[in-house]
């Protein structure tokens, strides 16, 4: 016959293993989300730099045409 102490130990073990598995999955989800957000922010910054460069070239071209 299994004693109450052993049943409690088994329950605690299963709960701990389950908790660890869920925390691991949550961490993976968060890590993926942070990676994707960082990627999007980088793409947005690249777009801003390209627009700034294009505006600078347009201004240079405008000055050359007027001059």
Given pLDDT bands bounded at 50, 70 and 90, which one contains residue 65?
A: confident
CA distance 16 to 13: 5
User: In the structure, what pLDDT confidence band is assigned to residue 67 with cuts at 50, 70 and 90?
Assistant: low
| Vertex 9 angle, CA 4 and 13, to 5° | 150
> What pTM value is reported for the model?
0.67
pLDDT value at residue 46: 98
In this prediction, residues 5-25 reach a mean pLDDT of 97
pLDDT tens string 16-58: 999 999 999 999 999 999 999 999 999 999 999 999 999 999 9
């Amino acid at each position: 016959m299994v004693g109450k102490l052993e049943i409690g130990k088994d329950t605690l073990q299963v709960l701990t293993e389950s908790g660890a598995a869920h925390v691991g999955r949550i961490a993976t989800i968060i890590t993926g989300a942070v990676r994707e957000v960082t990627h999007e922010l980088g793409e947005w910054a690249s777009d801003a730099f390209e627009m700034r460069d294009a505006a600078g070239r347009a201004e240079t071209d405008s000055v050359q045409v007027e001059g």
